[in-house]
Amino acid sequence: MNIIILTVSLFTIVLAGFFLVDIFIPKSNILERISLGFLVGTNIFTILLLLLNWKFSVVYNLPNSLVIIAGFLILSSLLNLVIRKMNKIKEWNLRLNINFMKLTLLEKIIVGILLILVSSVVISNFYWPVKDWDALAVYDFKAISFSATGYMDDAIGRGYFTAYPMFGTLMHTFIYLTGVSSPMFFYSILYISMLGAFYFLLRKISGKTQSLVGVLILASNPLIFDHASMAYQNLPYTIYFALGIIYVSLGLGNKNRSYLLLGGLVFALSNWVRLEFFLFFYLVIGLHIIRTVITKKYNKKMIIPIIFSCVFVYLVRYLWQGFIADKFNTDSVNIGKSMWVYIQTFLQIPSVDQISILLNYVLKGFGVTFSLLPIPYLLYLPYLAYNHRAIFMDKLETLLLPLLGMIYVIVGSYTFSLLYAGWVDILESFYRLIMVFIPIYIYTILSIMTHLGINKNNIGIHNHE
């Protein structure tokens, strides 16, 4: 009975998320919308759980949770119907447009390997409970407390609470409320949703075979694969961060407002998982503004979606700041003040030893996390910029994402090294931190190959296979 309740609940949450995603991309493949629907639906559901408990003292229990899910579905479906009526969209695209028999032998082999990887993750998560230290101490403990007491006060009183937002904790809480003993299956679905959404993103800029190869590289990356069987929040953060940034860059590069708004929403939800790279979104928007000024290709229709996307990102972060300020009777984080502290720290003159240790630290982290991915990127990018300047400038937001990420990470690591004396002892945390850029590297490399004519067959922004 517990499994049935949980299954029906998750299906309803995914359906609610599907209706929201469908507002932005109603013509996309249904599997793309389902994958994103799971990500958007579960994230917004946990936000509702926090808001209603915090502001209205709605107790964490199963009946209340089911009512929230029903209300979420009703509101999202009504919003979808209103937007569809405004845009005069009558038909629902529910076709899969996938035929396994039409795959080449190589494509079938890749799909077979992917199925093996996914199956191993599913089996591992079915067998093992939450077992990793931080997952137990930071996320799962709070979920057990929330589900047992119905409120957050007991867990808050025990400390170690403010470092990360509540996405993982509240999903664990709901799963425990249904009577299911382990939330690990949730991370299997996250892994599958990531691969599905990423495949359809790659299909917008690449051929079928190349897209499957890209998905295989992502699925088999040691860090990504390992974290699919952990209840850490690094994989969820990677999914929301990378998919959001890619949709944003795709929207900006192709003047597609729907992709931009969807990307803004997905990236905003990454701030409900972790907070480390929230400024990266604004750097991408800044890069777009610079490109627009240089090329003098202005598009007034993109202004409002850009503003709305920035508002999405700000609101989710503001929610967490407001919650912390209220629960701990402190002022919410002053971003301007925090940034000034970081700038002052960054401007300190480092010693030669500091620079040497930092470079070794960062290069080792890049090597372990990205493997050989930076090599083709750094080889292809200058060639494209020199020989295909028009294309380079037109797709600047996408093509410079990994480079922008490298600079962001190096600057952030340097500043952190000055603020925290024990930074050299947490190299594994650094690996987990920068894994958010793995999907971005893969996407950008395939995009460059397409623009160079290496990867040109059977692609297109409106191709939804």
Q: According to DSSP H, which parts of 158-254 are helical?
A: 167-177, 185-203, 208-220, 222-227, 234-254
pLDDT for the residue numbered 344:
59
pLDDT in tens, 359-379: 777 888 888 788 888 888 988
pTM here is 0.93
Please state, in angstroms and rounded to a whole number, the distance separating the CA atoms of residues 39 and 241: 12
Sign, Cα dihedral of 263, 268, 272, 278:
positive
| Under 8 Å between Cβ of 50 and 323 | yes
Percent of the chain with pLDDT over 70: 89
> Which band of pLDDT confidence, cut at 50, 70 and 90, is reported for residue 162?
low
Give the separation between CA 269 and CA 18, rounded to whole angstroms. Answer: 15
d(CA 245, CA 284) in angstroms, rounded, equals: 8
Q: Tell me, what's the pLDDT at 464?
A: 42
Lowest mean pLDDT among 61-65, 259-263, 341-345: 341-345
- The single residue listed with the structure tokens 């799962």 is 140
CA distance linking residue 222 with residue 227, whole number of Å: 8
Torsion of CA 326, 308, 237, 422, to 10 degrees: -60
Question: Which of 384, 440, 404, 386 minimizes the C-alpha distance to 286?
Answer: 404
**pLDDT tens-place string over residues 53-101:** 999 999 999 999 999 999 999 999 999 999 999 999 988 998 877 777 7
The answer to whether 465 and 93 are in contact (CB under 8 A) is no
Who has greater pLDDT, 351 or 72?
A: 72
CA–chain centroid gap for 153, Å, is 29
Res. 170 pLDDT band, cuts 50 70 90 = very high
**Residue 345: what residue type?**
T
Closest CA to 32 of 189, 193, 186, 185: 193
Element (H or E) spanning 385, and its range? helix 374-387
Checking if the pLDDT of 457 tops 70, the result is: no
What pLDDT band is residue 336 in, cutting at 50, 70 and 90? very low
